[in-house]
Structure formats: C-alpha cells, structure tokens
Amino acid sequence: MTDRFLKSIGILMLILVLGLYLAPMLKIEGFKTRDAGKFPLSVEKPILNDYPLIGKNETSNDNYSDIWFDYPIFSLGSFKQITNNFRYNKNPDNGQCIRADFCGALYHDKKVPSNEVFPLPEAEEGDGARVGYFRSEPNKLFFSIPTNQNILY
C-alpha cells in the first residue's frame, strides 16, 4: 500500500476516535421535558401531570379482554368531520396499553371540552371574489370579477 493511502487512513481513524470521545460532551438530545426521567420523581410518581392520579402505586387486574372496548372506533369517514383523532383525551388509557394491567392503574378521567368539530360556514353572498371560505373586498383585486354595474352593453 502506498504511504499516502496509509496516512489518509490514519487521519480518518484519528477523526473517528476524537469524534467518539467528544460526542458525549455535546449532550445533544431531541426531547426536553420538565420532570420526566428525573430519577426519584419518575419512580415514585407517575409523570403525566395533566391527569388526576388514582393514588395507588400498583397495577390493575385488567386483561386485554377487559380493556378492548376503551379503544375508540368510529364509522367510515364522512363529511361530518368525525375522526378518531381526539384533540382532548379524558384519560391516557385508551385500550391499547401494553401490559393490560397498566390500563386503569394510574389516572382518573378528567373533564375535557367536546371533541366535536364543526366545519366553517359557507361564504356569504356578496360582490367580492370568493377566496377559500371568505369573500374579498369588491374590485380590489388586480383581475377582479366585474359586477353588473361595470359591464357596458
């Protein structure tokens, strides 16, 4: 092998070793939370602060045959804007707990606003051009739609 090739392999190995040595010092992490993962707190107490706690520190006696009905199932999509994507969840236990005894073990249900979505009303009738759900001011666009008063017969 040539001397130049061995020198370039040595430089690459040096860069790799330095990169592996310095990487833990950068402490780059994608997720930052308030209390999650702090050692004594996350072991002794559940970490979701948004839901009221049951208070016991043990699992439930539920099986998969007990929790399946908590999973939301809706009919096919329609124009009524009904989906199974909730904006507000009453409880993080939605029938998909891995180990079924974790469902119903930590949190009570909380009161949440309605998840029902209403589509926007149609644009009002008027002289301006329709832009999405709204109407623009009449004759303010560069290529505006002429009204009956602007048409010469």
Through-space distance between the first and last CA atoms of the chain, rounded to whole angstroms: 90
Would you give per-residue pLDDT tens digits along the chain (153 residues)? 678 888 888 898 989 888 878 777 766 555 555 555 677 777 777 778 788 888 887 888 888 888 888 787 776 666 666 677 788 888 888 888 888 888 888 888 899 998 777 777 777 777 766 777 677 766 545 555 555 555 555
Confidence at residue 148, expressed as pLDDT on a 0 to 100 scale = 58
DSSP, residue by residue, 21-74: HHHHHH---S---SSTT-HHHHHHS-S-TTS-B----S-----HHHHGGGS---
Strand partners, 130: 135
Confidence at residue 111, expressed as pLDDT on a 0 to 100 scale = 92
CB contact at 8 A, 84 and 73: yes
Give the rounded distance of the alpha carbon of 121 from its chain centre.
27
Confidence at residue 79, expressed as pLDDT on a 0 to 100 scale = 66
Where along the chain do its domains lie? Answer: 3-102, 121-146
Instruction: Report the predicted TM-score, pTM, of the whole model to 2 decimal places.
Output: 0.49
CB contact at 8 A, 81 and 119: yes
